[in-house]
Structure 1
Amino acid sequence: MTKISSSDVRKVAQLARLELPEDQIETYTEQLEEILSYVDQLQEIDTENIPPTTRAVEVVNSMRDDLVEVNCSREDLLNQAPHREGDFFRVPKIL
């Protein structure tokens, strides 16, 4: 198991731009020790015959196929515009 020191916690806090009060350094040192201990336990697990995955549960694409549908003609849409110039919408000038 890796031993985390108080100076390691201070260094990580500095890199993360965190200001830790001195009275909490020991608490964070113990917590990081526990986290690394758990990671050590995970590294002991034999995963030789387990295929790599990206998800715990297989996800199926439930999206519909794209279908081209004509709902309105260009002329119908342009006729609904408040201002039109030929085949384009006319909008106020923005600077």
Structure 2
Amino acid sequence: MEKIKALLTKEPELSSNAITVLKKRYLKRDAEGNLQETPKEMFQRVAINIAQADLNYNKDADIAEIAKKFYDIMVDLKFLPNSP
């Protein structure tokens, strides 16, 4: 996982409003409610998890390549998955 994270280096350019929403709703927290990741780390986490799903359909899937593509479209704000 760390090897893949090393490929996901582009910094997201987010407005202060976007950062506020991420802090309130999407960034990981510990049991006491303290933030445990940055927006960049969240994008990395999501990209890697989405990429790993491809292993269900193709055992030879290049997870690093898929994660990189997904990460790039997220940090470029071209596609942002979310949950209600």
Confirm or deny a common fold (TM above 0.5): no
Structure with higher strand content: 1
Decide which structure has the larger Cα Rg and report it.
1
Structure with higher helix content: 2
TM-score scaled by length of structure 1: 0.26
> Looking at both structures, which has the greater relative contact order when contacts are Cα pairs under 8 Å and sequence separation is at least 6?
2
TM-score scaled by length of structure 2: 0.28
